Every structure is written in structure tokens, then in C-alpha cells.
Structure 1
Amino acid sequence: MLELTLKYQLCFPMYALSRQVTALYRPLLEPLGLTYPQYLILMLMWEHKKLTVKEIGKELWLDSGTLTPLLKRMEEKGLVERIRDKSDERVVNIHLTESGMLFRNECLDIPSKIQCQLNLNPDQAVALRSQLYELLEVLDKQGT
């Protein structure tokens, strides 16, 4: 009965790969005082400059209970500002600070270092990323 063997499961290699790839980031991010989720938030902020907590959560598939402490620590480091919306206090806007924008320079070489460690050529990386996003889209449509 292959259905119940670990090697037959699609979920296990994705889980193990996620943990291993995230671990590759640790030695690159720790000297910068960042965790991997904080790095993801910064990448979104470099792209958009201002987002709500809800928008960040949607992009990163994280709930506000997970994001709030991450954003609070990032604010303490001076990377972002959390500002309640004046028209709706339930909405928290996240703004990238000037320091947060300049921090981008410290992270410029991280993607290429990770790609080298994964030993993927550019075409393989594009194909894999495309497949993973297709799976995320399927799950998003299912409401998970």
C-alpha cells in the first residue's frame, strides 16, 4: 500500500525542502539581525513601501497573530513603522522607514548566494518557482 508510505507522499519532500531551504538563509540573515519571516516582510516592503498587516498576511500566507510580533520587532529595529489608519483603527498600515530602505543594500547578494547553494540553473529555478506558485494558487482557490 504505497499511499501510506512516506516516500510516496508529495507533502513530505515539500515540508523537508522548505525547512532545508529556510536553514540556508539563517547564516546569511543572522549577522543582519533578521529572521527569515522578517526578510520576507522586508522584500514585500521594498517592493511596495506601504502595506496593511492584512495585505502582508495575504502575500505571505501568515495570520496577524504571527505577523504582529514580527512587525513589532522590526519596528523596534527601525526598519518599519506601524501606524493605525485614522479612518479605521482596526487597520494597521506598515510603512518602510528610510533605514529599512537602506537595509536593502545589506541583502542584495542573498538571492544569488541561495541560488548557488541550491545548484539550480536559471531555467530550473524559473520552472520550479512556476510550479510552486501554481500549487499555491490551487490552494488559494480552495480557501486554505
Structure 2
Amino acid sequence: MEDERLDKIVDDLYLFFPLFRKKIFKHKRRLHQGKIPHSYYHVLKILDKHGDLPMSEIGRKVHISKSNMTSLIDKLVENGLTERLPDQNDRRVINISITNKGKDILRDWRKYSNNEIKKSLSVLSEEDLEKFYESVENIKDILYKLGND
């Protein structure tokens, strides 16, 4: 693909992500405002999906540095949303586990978030919804091809 076309794609991506966030995820600014930072939800989602994990693995999955993960996990533990558990196979490793309170918060967040996104999309015609769905699937497939860095 020629450089000019790649430059256009890059320019469009810089516009795409803020627009996508503004139009589809606008509700997240209002979500639990002042209660829980959005990064908490990312960590809780990872733990809910993958089970107990070491802090370094969580950080890798949510793209947060180890130094930032330590304070984030400290706050999640302090708020009763996660807990530290010794690894059964290696006593040097401490795993992080989501608590029932963390699962409750995550469930409420998902329910609210999903309803808000559905409201945003409900203004689209069936044809536009189908195009949007296909576009999201295509983008997801292409992003998976880019690798796991």
C-alpha cells in the first residue's frame, strides 16, 4: 500500500478513536462519577474473565505499568474489590482475586454501560446497524492480525 494511503489511514485513526469514544462511550463520563476510576473496571474485567492473576500479568493485559499497578491494586484491595492471595505453586507469587463486592460492582457497571450503548445505537436504522456491526467485526479481525505487543 502506498505511503499516501497509509498516511490517510493514520490521520483517520487519530480522528476515529476520540469520535468513537464520544459517540459510543459518552456515558462513561457519568458512570459512577467520583466513585471509582475507569481503570478499576478494566482490572476487574480482566480478573472476572481470567480468574486469579499475578499483578504483572494484569498490568500486561490492561497495558498499565508495574509501578502504576501497585497503587491501583492497593486501592482495589482497600476498597474491598480485590484481594491478594498467595500462589499455591510458588510462594514468591501473589495473585490478585476479584471479591464478591468487585463482581457486584462490575455486574452493575456492565448492565448500565450496555444499556447506555444500546440507547446510543438505537437511533440507527437496521441498515446502518448492520454496516456498523460488520465494520466493528472487520476492525476487530484486523487488529488481532497486528499481533500481541
Identity of matched residues, %: 20
Pick aligned residue for 1:110 from 113, 118, 124: 113
The TM-score normalised by the length of structure 2 is 0.67
* Aligned equivalent of 1:100: 102
- The 5 A counterparts of 1:56-75 are 56-75=58-77
Cα RMSD of the aligned pairs, angstroms, is 3.4
Native 8 Å contact 1:29 1:36 kept in 2:
no
How big is the shift at 1:79?
0.5
Where does residue 39 of structure 1 map in the other structure? 41
For 2:61 and 2:87, locate their aligned partners in 1 and report how far apart those are by CA, in whole Å: 20
CA distance in 2 between partners of 1:37 and 1:122 (Å):
31
Q: Highest CA radius of gyration, 1 or 2?
A: 2
Q: Compared with structure 1, are the counterparts of its residues 97 and 22 closer, same or farther at alpha carbon in structure 2 (3 Å cutoff)?
A: same
Deviation at 1:6, TM superposition (A): 8.6
Mean Cα displacement is larger for which, 129-138 or 40-49? 129-138
AA of the residue aligned to 2:57: E
| 2-structure distance, mates of 1:99, 1:52 | 20
The alignment covers a number of residue pairs equal to 139
TM-score by length of 1: 0.69
Matched, 1:135 2:114: no
Which structure's relative contact order is higher, taking Cα pairs within 8 Å and 6+ residues apart?
2
Runs of 4+ in structure 1 off by over 4 angstroms are 5-8
Q: In the alignment, is the contact (CA less than 8 A) between 1:26 and 1:35 conserved in 2?
A: no
Q: 5+ residue gaps in structure 2?
A: none
Unmatched tracts of structure 1, length 5 or more = none
SS for the counterpart of 2:85 is strand
